Structure 1
């Protein structure tokens, strides 16, 4: 592992950055141009109202083909493998999509885990349940809106050893983040850990939005009607500490998305965190 005062490079090739990216003049102009045509308030309200429908349409169109399986989670989050193999572990995935995280874990032999996986989209849950690896003896998949109390219609409070919130919070309206963080806190047992990764401020995807897609500061509508936010580590730190968590890790992650066949080499910025519910 290489280090200096500003960043850490770990064995996975991620660069952990401890300060916000400095924008070039060109990048500043791109962000400023986005403000020339904002999404009207009435349309933004409709996007919030139709959020579930847009994600259902997304999964109808893309089925299980859009997101890659997350084979990186055990490398990034050692908490997943720090259990005695004989110990029973309750794992909650908040926003599971079509199972790109849970099914790789099952394939890796996490036989002592029982997985509770939920998603906003009924169609996504249908895809999870129809996967050949789905097994009622090892997992329970259900629909839940994380901005309501639906989660606790399917699990008990203070019952989960680990929870994850990976590329989920960015799709939720900022006014509802407090509710989501509180639900994650209530789901975990004392001593449980929430694993987090999402889009970081000034990620290349944020800079590429054209005028007409910006809803509010750092909050955007994609072409398909789904939404995304780009976080700073400071606002996440405040969000989760206010919810009651202790911060184990909360930092920017810089990576490159490379596809030699298509000539793609794009710098990416994420925010990664580990948050502990105190004993």
Structure 2
């Protein structure tokens, strides 16, 4: 059946795409980035659009177990290939962080003459530093640990012109199996940022990842979370092209990297079970307009703050 056909083997796909992007391809990449983001007029997807999304996704079926296991087992390898191929060109710096998570702002509570308290943070799945360096520039009190399971991404972080300032420590780590305490003192972090990261992890490994993060956080420490949400336009697109579903709400891209789409209920249950209080957890809706391609898409993300008890 059509939906049972696997994607091209990621090794072959990576080899075919190994050449650096041309100027024309780079322009296309830029065109795919968000040209305009604004809140939708309503706080929820319209009933008609939601019904359509549910119908498309319900008809999709997972590919054969052999391919499911292959993509899950090769997740780190495929992300490393992604960064080798795209270097620092794919993602834009995330200057919207202060707007969404004011905890990273530069406000200070120190009295005049007192030394400002250092804030210890961790960026999981840091990529090439699109979050790290804008935030460090925003708040001089921050010290940022940064980890990713793609070695090439960490190399690029360390090559950044601001890295030698001594306010960032980047290291390779697979959150699902490598203890963060090998690098970060237990119970030492004030803030952990998880921005479009846990979606790259299969559901059966999420508990291990959250427990790992919890070990290095202080009681009262906060996880700032933002990721893909169920019924997002990207999920509908995946299900419209059978052969990409690995599991419920989990899909594989053409390059072998994975994308999970979360619900409020799923994330609330996961973090409460692992010893966190949910301070806030809800859907964020955006209309993404791609002027170059004359497209308008309803994007749906999940944004939350979790406090370690």
TM-score (structure 2 length as normaliser): 0.80
- 1:253 partnered with 2:284: yes
CA gap of 1:152–1:16, structure 2 versus 1, over 3 A, is farther
Question: What are the superposed Cα offsets for residues 201-245 of structure 1, whole Å, 9 maximum, x if unpaired?
Answer: 000000001101111111111100001111110010000001101
Residue aligning to 1:244: 275
Take 2:191 and 2:215, find their aligned partners in 1: how far apart are those partners? Answer: 12
Does residue 93 (structure 1) correspond to residue 133 (structure 2)? The answer is no
Q: 1:187 to 1:41 in 2, by over 3 A?
A: same
Deviations 1:53-96 (CA, angstroms, capped at 9, x unpaired)? 10011111111111111000111001212553622110111110
* Counterpart contact for 1:16–1:253, Cα < 8 Å: no
Secondary structure at the aligned position of 2:72 is classed as: helix
Report how far residue 30 of structure 1 moved: 2.4
- Gaps (5+ residues) in structure 2? 1-36, 111-115
Q: Larger % of helix: which?
A: 2
Given the alignment of the two structures, is residue 31 of structure 1 paired with residue 57 of structure 2, yes or no? yes
Do residues 135 (structure 1) and 164 (structure 2) align? yes
Instruction: Indicate whether 1:235 and 2:266 are aligned.
Output: yes
Name which one, 1 or 2, has greater alpha-carbon Rg.
2
Say yes or no: does 1:158 pair with 2:192. no
Tell me, in whole angstroms, the C-alpha distance in 2 between the residues paired with 1:13 and 1:249. Answer: 21
Q: Which one scores higher on RCO, CA 8 angstroms, separation ≥ 6?
A: 2
1:42 equivalent to 2:66? Answer yes
* C-alpha separation in 2, matches of 1:41 and 1:227: 15
Q: CA RMSD in A?
A: 2.1
Residue 184 in structure 1 maps to residue 208 in structure 2: no
Query: Which sits farther off after the overlay, 263-272 or 222-231?
Result: 263-272
Describe the SS at the equivalent of 2:163. Answer: coil
1:277 matched to which residue of 2?
Answer: 308
How many angstroms apart in 2 are the aligned matches of 1:96 and 1:14? 26
Q: How many residues align?
A: 264
CA apart distance, 1:16: 11
Say if 1:160 and 1:192, in contact at 8 Å, map to a contact too: yes
Quote the residue 2:134 is aligned against: 104
Within a 5 Å distance, the mapping from 1:201-212 to structure 2 comes to 201-209=230-238, 210-212=241-243
In structure 1, which of residues 182, 193, 198 is the aligned counterpart of residue 227 of structure 2? 198
Unaligned runs of 5+ in 1: 1-11
Please show how residues 43-58 of structure 1 align to structure 2 within 5 Å: 43-58=67-82
Secondary structure (helix, strand or coil) at the match of 1:208 reads: helix
- The 3 A distance-change label for structure 1 pair 41 and 197 is same
Q: 1:20 to 1:151 in 2, by over 3 A?
A: farther
Moved over 3 A (4+): 12-29, 82-85
Partner-residue secondary structure (3-state), 1:178: helix
**Cα distance in structure 1, aligned partners of 2:177 and 2:50:** 41
User: Residue 164 of structure 2: SS of its match in structure 1?
Assistant: coil
